[in-house]
Amino acid sequence: MKVLSVASESVPLIKTGGLADVVGALPRALEAHGVEMRVLLPAYQSIRGKISGNALWQSDSFFGGSAAIYSHKTDGIEFLLLDAPHLFDRDGGPYNNAKGDYPDNALRFGAFCQAAVIVADGALSDGWKPDLVHAHDWQAGLVPAYLKLKGSQVPSIMTVHNIAFQGLAGPEMLRKLGLPKREFHSDALEYWGQLSTLKAGLVYANAITTVSPTYADELKTQQFGMGLEGVIRSRSSDLYGILNGVDEGDWNPESGEGFSAYSATKMAGKTKNRAALLEEFGLRNIEGPLAIVVSRLSDQKGMDLLIDALPRFFEQGGGLCLLGSGDVGIESNLKALSQRYTQQFGLRIGYDENLSKRMFAGGDAVLVPSRFEPCGLTQLYGLKFGTLPVVSSTGGLADTVIHANAVAIAAGVATGICFSRIDSLGLSDALGQLNHIYRDKSLWKLMQKNAMTQGLGWEVSAKKYLALYEEVLK
């Protein structure tokens, strides 16, 4: 089976969040099941240098400039890179620069979706043509619409990694993107007077998936659907929640890449990593749990709740190493707190994957107090590294962490702490429980072992995607 995956990010070429981890993991996980997946990605400035060989397709007039598609294989992933310098060769990130979002994002990613349709039509010179297209998030949301509206025989699947990002644009974009005006109504492309590319994907795809079973249920509600709950409900028979996995090639405590290797049965390396992490962040006298946070700094991630709950945690003996970037208000509140608790709280503003791995390797617990969380990857990395997750009970967090209540402790199956009152008091109580459990060494060890030996790879979910692909192709 040939599948074209269409996404704006994928490891190892470009990453701003969990989307990139998942898009890069899927082709490797599905290969074992006979799926030949190619990943279409824009050739951003940081990627263009990797382009070589002859183009598989090219055009002199593609949304206001010339464009070409090249193949590029790396880390076992077959990429198709859309090179359109007038759209993607820019300083800054994939979606924005220091001044904010690029004003032409709707055009950039609409063009990207058209390139996916060109590939789906079989226009590549090497003859590769997908049986199915798998589109991810708003950046690829127009792919199902274009395919359906042109009567293509190639079916599509739309995956929602986060419904908060909806790809909104003014109605004037319809013409520029070659979308028919007759489809601009509330049952199709229109969202309160604007075009929503995510909604387009939800309406026209043959099936919809999201990244955890609980988030699939939550999306049907007003609280979590963010205005798209009606569309989601109308398509609930085609909606599937399939959990993300951990790419165990990249995220593995036994690899010892940049830290001392360890495993569920040989934990000595973790003790060394903890000492090294304390040293790296300049923390001292932490007799309680050493927590870590690796996160976008946003309200979604509950960083404001964390700021309120931390003083009590520090006063109870806990420590924290935090790596993140995002909202400037949250950044400055965190800075103020780190200046107040210099020995307990180490803060790094920025994005650094190697540092994040050292943190998972050396921390005792990872904190993920999200207000909503489609799947979440950092709690999965925490489980894998025996860095026990403290999570709010929402979305994929609720699906992947077994809360240490009396029943789970008695059954010997707990893997972390979940709190359902998602506010600073709820988090503060959860941190109190963390402190308590941390000091019960035999329970802590058992929970670490449970977490580290739980199956977290992609095997189960890859089979679910495969079954869905087969269903859609019937």
Residues that bind ligand ADP (CB under 6 A): 17-19, 21, 162, 294-296, 323-325, 351-353, 356, 375-378
For 83, the token pair is 């090179």
Nearer to ligand ADP, 173 or 293 (CB): 293
CB atoms within 10 A of CB 329: 12
Nearer to ligand ADP, 75 or 104 (CB): 75
Nearer to ligand ADP, 97 or 354 (CB): 354
For 132, the token pair is 């199915």
Nearer to ligand ADP, 171 or 457 (CB): 457
Q: 242 φ, ψ to 5°?
A: -120, 120
Nearer to ligand ADP, 376 or 426 (CB): 376
Give CA–CA dist 96/9, Å, rounded.
14
* Distance in Å, CB of 294 to ligand ADP, minimum: 5
CB atoms within 10 A of CB 226: 16
Burial class (CB in 10 A: 0-12, 13-18, 19+), 454: middle
For 413, the token pair is 């199956």
Residue in the shown chain whose Cβ atom is closest to ligand ADP: 18
* Distance in Å, CB of 298 to ligand ADP, minimum: 8
Q: Any bridge partners for residue 416, and if so which?
A: 403
Pair 209, 158: CB distance under 8 Å: yes
What residue type is 105 in one-letter code?
N
For 446, the token pair is 């058992």
Rounded to a whole number of angstroms, the distance between the first and last alpha carbons of the chain is 12
- 236-248 exposure pattern, b = at least 16 Cβ within 10 A, e = fewer: eebbbbbbbbbbe
- 283-298 exposure pattern, b = at least 16 Cβ within 10 A, e = fewer: beebebbbbbbbbbbb
Q: 341 φ, ψ to 5°?
A: -115, 65
Nearer to ligand ADP, 220 or 296 (CB): 296
Pair 50, 81: CB distance under 8 Å: yes
Q: Which helix (H) or strand (E) holds 322?
A: strand 319-326
Give CA–CA dist 379/72, Å, rounded.
32
Nearer to ligand ADP, 164 or 267 (CB): 164
Nearer to ligand ADP, 248 or 429 (CB): 248
Nearer to ligand ADP, 20 or 47 (CB): 20
Nearer to ligand ADP, 18 or 416 (CB): 18
Strand, coil or helix: 318: coil
Residues 6+ away with beta carbon under 8 Å from 462: 26, 29, 30, 32, 33, 245
* Distance in Å, CB of 381 to ligand ADP, minimum: 6
